[in-house]
Amino acid sequence: MSSDWKVEIVECGDLVQDDDEVTHPDEAERRWNRYVELADSVAGSEGPTAVAAIVSSLRAEEDYGAYQAAHAALNRFPHSDLGKGVALAARDLVAIPKDGSGNVLLILAQASSAAVTTFNEAMRAADADVQREMSELVEFHESEEWLSDEGVRNVLLTPRG
């Protein structure tokens, strides 16, 4: 994947919302279609930085189904690339809408122990502020629906502290 692809998927991921009066409806449809096309083009061999770009692209509150293509793309990556890529995108992950971050963390937690281990190791090497923000996000999702089930609860960032 080129750096152009990574920039474009992040830009297109800022999908036009219903209350956006500035963007023409044709542009909204074009951006939605292009986003899905970019996500569908992922083979899974593009490496952790492509995972990070996909995670960073999940910025819209309402995705109108487009992010399903991004979630499918995340599932095509080797688990170690998935774990490292999610960690690389940690700052963006804590900033995107909660449903988006919850979905990404659930995909990660369900992928494999290798994905989780790679993520946890990368997060241990991250800046202390990023570690704290990510820990708060994981705890939030464990207390809500995304990471509350047995098998995905208490696997990310453990031991904490």
CA 68 – CA 39 distance, rounded (Å): 9
| DSSP calls for 5-68 | HHHHHHHHHSPPPTT--SS-HHHHHHHHHHHHHHHHT--S-S-HHHHHHHHHT---S--TTTHH
Q: Confidence band (pLDDT; 50, 70, 90) for 2? A: low
Q: Mutual orientation of helices 67-74 and 98-111 as an angle, nearest 10°?
A: 20
At 114-142, the pLDDT tens digits run: 999 999 999 999 999 999 999 999 999 99
Which two tokens mark 140? 């939030």
Q: Confidence band (pLDDT; 50, 70, 90) for 3? A: confident
Are the CB atoms for 15 and 63 separated by under 8 Å?
A: yes
Residue-level pLDDT at 145 = 87
Q: Is the pLDDT at 113 greater than 90, yes or no?
A: yes
Q: Confidence band (pLDDT; 50, 70, 90) for 26? A: confident
Are the CB atoms for 153 and 143 separated by under 8 Å?
A: no
User: 119 — phi, psi (to 5°)?
Assistant: -60, -50
At 54-100, the pLDDT tens digits run: 999 999 998 889 999 999 999 999 999 999 999 999 999 999 999 99
Percent of the chain residues topping a pLDDT of 90 = 75
Report the chain's terminal Cα–Cα distance, integer Å: 36
Residue-level pLDDT at 22 = 63
Instruction: Provide the whole-model pTM.
Output: 0.92
Residue-level pLDDT at 161 = 46
| Mean pLDDT computed over 30-43 | 94
Which two tokens mark 80? 């170690």
